[in-house]
Amino acid sequence: MNGRVLHVVGTRPNFVKAAPVVAALRAAGCDQVLVHTGQHYDERMSDIFFRQLGLPRPDTDLGVGSGSQARQTAELLIALEGELIARDPALVIVYGDVNSTLAAALVAAKLGIPLAHVEAGLRSFDMAMPEEVNRRLVDQLAELLFATSPEAIGHLAREGVPADRIHLVGNPMIDTLLTHVDRFDPAAARTSHALPERYGVVTLHRPANVDDPEAVRAAVHALTEAARLIDLAVPLHPRGRAALGAAGLADAPGIHILDPLGYVEFMSLVRGAAAVITDSGGVQEETTVLNVPCLTLRTTTERPVTVTHGTNRLVAPTELVPALRKILDTTTHPPTEGPPLWDGHAGPRIARTITRWLDHHG
């Protein structure tokens, strides 16, 4: 095997997806570089994840931070260009659909460096979502496309991606979950945050929910009404904290506002929840494997397998309370099997494909 691989990560979901891939490539003796763009720069959204997930310290932290979509992407392009030129990798590996993912893909393409995309082929078909723009563009630039679910292969085929570039490998985010599941302690998390025996968890950060004032008011009203049914723990992402707070979320009875949590702490809360309300793609997947009912405050999802699996439902703010009441009043029977290949071995499958590719191209 010849050649260096360079991983680009920037946000919490990237870290969770990258951890099993980095570990599997390390076991294979691969020369690796880990670049953290700093898109998530809060210690509770970044540094703690490296410690808890066993990721090596980044070789470089670009410290880009927040900004508008255009400004952040532009700064990422400039910073990553210098890093890729200096490191001279044989392959760049990107994860998910955030701005760090798109910027790294564009820089690699301009420099003629092959690209691998972990979590390829997901589609919400909502081009108003910045993430949908990112994932579509990245998939057109990638040499190796690693799909987490069968429908992703169909999306890529319809977009003209050659079949020999596409690999169904399963979901590395679930590798991380299954590796650490014995560390998830709902009782300790509940006690730590003074929550009752039965509670829900809320995460909101998508622009559609936290940037538009009307959408923020609708979400806060729905959550306020939902908290009449069950106490809600709300770890607030830095994105949206001010808007949701200004709309009165913190003042509602039954709402427990929390600071951002580390991976183990957050997943401990999720594991013990009666229901989760979210707009996160990753949380939809994590609740599916943990068999925790999930209500997604979105009109579309790029993870339809979570809906067909029966653990997730898309709801508008006006539908939230009835949907939550139904969950709380119903005894659920978890599915007997998870989605295909969500078995904890996606990282090794990805590593095997990459090492074979490096043997021929590195």
Q: Which residues are part of the catalytic machinery? A: 205
Using alpha carbons, select from 160, 122, 167 the residue that is nearest to residue 141.
Answer: 160
- For 114-146, give the DSSP string: -EEEEEET-----TTSHHHHHHHHHHHH-SEEE
308-274-13-362 Cα dihedral, nearest 10 degrees: -50
Q: What 3-state class would DSSP assign to 70?
A: helix
**Secondary structure (3-state) at 38:** coil
- 3-class SS letters over 244-296: HHHCCHHHCCCEEEECCCCHHHHHHHHHCCCEEEECCHHHHHHHHHHCCCEEE
**Cα–Cα distance for residue pair 353/313, rounded to 1 Å:** 34
CA-to-CA distance for 305 and 173, rounded, in angstroms?
Answer: 15
**Helical axes 12-27 vs 172-180, angle rounded to 10°:** 80
9 and 37 Cβ atoms separated by less than 8 Å: yes
How many CA atoms does the CB half-sphere of 262 hold within 13 Å? 15
Q: How far apart are the first and last CA of the chain?
A: 7
Q: How far apart are CA 218 and CA 138, in angstroms?
A: 33
Q: Is residue 354 a contact partner of residue 5, using CB atoms and an 8 Å limit? A: yes
**3-class SS of residue 158:** helix
